[in-house]
Amino acid sequence: MCGIIGYIGKSEAAPILLEGLRRLEYRGYDSAGLAILNGELSLRKCKGRIANLADLIAREPVCGSIGISHTRWATHGGVTDENAHPHFDQSGKLAIVHNGVIENYQTLKDQLIAKGHFFKSQTDTEVLAHLIGIHYDALPGEASRQRLVEAVRGALKEVIGTYGIAVMHQAVPGTLVGARRGSPLVLGIGKGENFLASDVSAIVGHTREAVYLRDYDIVALDGVDFEISTVNGGTSGFEVSTVEFSEDDVSKGDYPHYMLKEIFEQPDSMANAFRGRLSTEESTAKLGGLNMTPKELRDIERIVLTGCGTACHAAMVGEYLLEHLAHIPTEVEFASEFRYRNMPMNKDTLVFAISQSGETADTLAALRESQRKGHRTLAICNNVASTIARESDGGVYMHAGPEIGVAATKSFTSQVGVLTLLGLLLGRIHHLSTSEGIQIMEELNAIPDKVRTILKQSDYIKSIAEKYSYAKAMMFLGRQFSYPVAMEGALKMKEISYIHAEGHPSAELKHGVIALISPEVPSVFIAPDDSVFDKNVSNIEEVKARKGPVIAIGTEGSTKLEKVADDVIYIPPCPDFLSPLLSVIPLQLLSYHLAVKLGCDVDKPRNLAKSVTVE
C-alpha cells in the first residue's frame, strides 16, 4: 500500500525515482509525485498513473541528485493533485513522503491552524510535514544533518499512528532522513549512492545490499554513509542483508501480466517450498525454523491460524489439513478480528501468523497480541527480513520468490504447501506410520508436475472464461477441503474482474444460496473425485434444475461430471487433502482470462493494494 523511493548520490534522481515508482505500481495507488532538491525544492505531482507523472516531468523537467517520490493510495482526503505526495511544511523548504496513518492528525492540525499555519491538502501527511518544520525551526545552531534528525525525532514523539517516511530539507542538501513505525522502510546501500524505499523491488536494479529498518528506527543518509538511531535517541543495531532476488525476478519476462507469470511459476514455487524439508530417512517433514523440540510439538493441544484475504483462505485449508493429518484441534481467525477479540486460549495453544509480505498490519498486530498473552507465535511468510518474520518466535519461509501481482496466486499454494508439511510433521509425531509418511511425501513430490499438466489447459480455460464473460455474478461452491478453494476462487474473480462472486460450502446451497441461481449466474463447483463427490453431483443437479450454468473442476478419469455440468476442467488424481494445491490453479486461470477478456487492469485492480500496511 503506497510506495516510497528516495535517492541520494551523483546521478540524476528523477529517472531513478520514476523507475522505482514503476516497480512499486503493484502495491496499488491513485496518484504519484516527486520532489527534487537542487538549490531549491522542485515539486511535480498529479493524480492518476505514473505515466501521467512522467509526462508532466517531460514537459517540466527537474534536475538534481537528491529526491524523494511516492505513489499514494488515498486514506485522508480524496484523489486530487493537491493530496498527492510529496508535501511541504509551512516554509516550503521541507518535503516529506509518508506511508501510514497519523491518527491524531486532526488535533495537531487544529493546533497548527491556531498558530497561523495554512494547509493546501486534506492529508494527515501535510500535518506531519508542518510539525517537523516547526521542530526544525525551533532548534538552535547551523543547518546540519543532526538538526534535521532531531526535528524528525521531536515531531514523531508527538504523533500517534503508523509511518514510513522520507524527509529532506532545502537547508541540508546532502541528507535524506527516513523513519518507520508499522510501515516498512528499507535502506539500500549502493556505491557512491544510497536509497530509501518501502520495498526492495524498487531498488534491486541498483543494489542488492539492504538494511530493513525496525520500528522506531530513524536513518540519516548521504551518498556515502548512513547512521541509524531510534526515535527515543538511542542507538539501533542493524544487519546488512543481501537481497535474494534479482532485477529479472521482478520483471514480467515474456508474459503479458505479472499474475499470469506467477500462476505459471507455481510448479517451481511449490517445489521450492518442499525442497530440503522432506526427510526420506525419517519419513517426515523437517522444519527447523519452528524452533521447537519434538516434545514441545507433541504437547500442542490446539493451533490457531490467523491471516487476511488469501492467507486466511490458505489457513482454512490448513485447518482441514492439520486436523486430518495430525488430529490437533485447529481454528482460523481473521487477523483483523483476532486483535480485538478476547478469545480464550489455553497455555498449550500454538499460533501461526500467515502473511506473504510479512508486513500486513492486521496480521502483525495479531502476532503481537498473541505474544502479549504469552503464546508461542510462529510465522509463515515470504520475506525473511519482514517485520513479522523478525518478531515471531520462529516459523517457515515460503521460498516463493517475489510476488508482484496484486491478486495472490503462488503465495496461496506455497502457504498451503507449508501447512501440509506442518501437518505431516505433527502427524508423524502423533499417529501417522512410517509407510503413511512415505506415501504423503511421494504425493507431495508429485504435485509440481501435476500442476504443470493443469497449466497446459490454459487456452482451454480461456475459452471457458470467454464463454461466461457476460456474467455479472458468479457462485463458487465446494465441500470439505474444496470449500476454502471456493472462497479463494471467488476472491480472485472479484479482485481482478470486478464480477460479484461468492464462495460457499456446497451443502449450504439449499440454505439460502440457491435463491441466487439463474441462467445469468454461472456456478463453479470444485468437485474432485473425493469422499463427498456424489454429494457435489447432487448439488450440481439442483443448480441445473433451475437453469443455472455450471463449470466443474473434476478429477481425470471421472466422466460423471460431463453429464451434469456445462463445462468441465480436469485435474490429475491426488489424495483429498492435497486437492487444493491442484484445484485452485484452474480457478486462478479462469479469473485471469475472464478479466483480460473484460479489459481489466489485471496487475493493478482498482482500489486494491498488494500489501495492506495500514488498518
The pLDDT of residue 565 is above 70:
yes
Which residue type does 142 have?
E
The pLDDT of residue 27 is above 70:
no
What is the pLDDT of the chain when averaged over all its residues? 91
User: Following CA atoms 360, 366, 372, 374 in sequence, which dihedral angle do they give, to the nearest 10 degrees?
Assistant: -120
The pLDDT of residue 538 is above 90:
no
In DSSP notation, 119-177 reads -SSS-HHHHHHHHHHHHHHHS-SS--HHHHHHHHHHHHTT--B-EEEEEEETT-TT-EE
From the candidates 93, 450, 494, 610, give the one annotated as an active-site residue: 610
pLDDT in tens, 299-335: 999 999 999 999 999 999 999 999 999 999 999 999 9
pLDDT of res. 610: 61
Task: Locate CATH 3.60.20.10 in the chain.
Answer: 3-250
Three-state secondary-structure class, residue 186:
strand
CA torsion sign for 314, 318, 319, 320 is: positive
pLDDT of res. 510: 82
Task: Locate CATH 3.40.50.10490 in the chain.
Answer: 254-454, 457-602
Q: What is the C-alpha to C-alpha distance for residues 191 and 357, in angstroms, rounded to an integer? A: 28
pLDDT in tens, 399-419: 988 888 889 999 999 999 999
Grade residue 614 by pLDDT with cuts at 50, 70 and 90: low
pLDDT in tens, 83-102: 999 999 999 999 999 998 89
The pLDDT of residue 615 is above 60:
no
Grade residue 187 by pLDDT with cuts at 50, 70 and 90: very high
As a whole number, mean pLDDT of residues 12-30 equals: 86
CATH code of the region 457-602: 3.40.50.10490
CA angle at 500 for the pair 510 and 560, rounded to the nearest 5° = 50
The pLDDT of residue 607 is above 80:
no
The pLDDT of residue 237 is above 90:
no
Q: Where are the alpha helices (DSSP H) in 361-469?
A: 361-372, 387-391, 410-430, 434-455, 458-467
As a whole number, mean pLDDT of residues 105-130 equals: 94
**What residues contact residue 222 under an 8 Å CB cut-off, 6+ apart?**
8, 145, 174, 175, 176, 194
Grade residue 432 by pLDDT with cuts at 50, 70 and 90: very high
CA-wise closest residue to 250 among 213, 209, 203, 184:
203
Q: What is the C-alpha to C-alpha distance for residues 4 and 19, in angstroms, rounded to an integer? A: 12
Residue 320 CA, chain-centre distance (Å), reads: 23
**What residues contact residue 49 under an 8 Å CB cut-off, 6+ apart?**
25, 32
In angstroms, what CA-CA distances link 592 with 28, 127, 566? 18, 41, 20
Q: What topology is assigned to 3-250 in CATH?
A: Glutamine Phosphoribosylpyrophosphate, subunit 1, domain 1 (3.60.20)
As a whole number, mean pLDDT of residues 476-500 equals: 95
pLDDT in tens, 198-234: 888 888 888 988 999 989 999 999 999 999 999 988 8
Span of 339-343, 413-417, 499-503 with lowest mean pLDDT: 339-343
Residue 214 gets which letter from DSSP?
P
Residue matched to cell numbers 543495531? 237
pLDDT of res. 283: 94
Grade residue 612 by pLDDT with cuts at 50, 70 and 90: low
pLDDT of res. 54: 94
pLDDT of res. 301: 93
Tell me what percent of the residues of the chain surpass a pLDDT of 70: 98
456 is catalytic: no
pLDDT of res. 511: 87
Cβ atoms of 49 and 18 within 8 Å: the answer is no
CA-wise closest residue to 575 among 443, 399, 453, 485:
443
Q: Which residue has the higher pLDDT, 240 or 549?
A: 549
From the candidates 2, 308, 574, 600, give the one annotated as an active-site residue: 2
Grade residue 606 by pLDDT with cuts at 50, 70 and 90: confident
191 is catalytic: no
The pLDDT of residue 244 is above 80:
no
**Candidate ranges 44-53, 71-80, 247-256, 452-461; pick with highest mean pLDDT:** 452-461
pLDDT of res. 358: 86
Span of 13-27, 124-138, 368-382 with lowest mean pLDDT: 13-27
Grade residue 74 by pLDDT with cuts at 50, 70 and 90: confident
Span of 164-168, 425-429, 534-538, 598-602 with lowest mean pLDDT: 534-538
pLDDT of res. 513: 85
Return the beta strands (E) in 457-537 as ranges. Answer: 473-478, 500-505, 523-526
CATH architecture of 254-454: 3-Layer(aba) Sandwich (3.40)
pLDDT of res. 342: 79
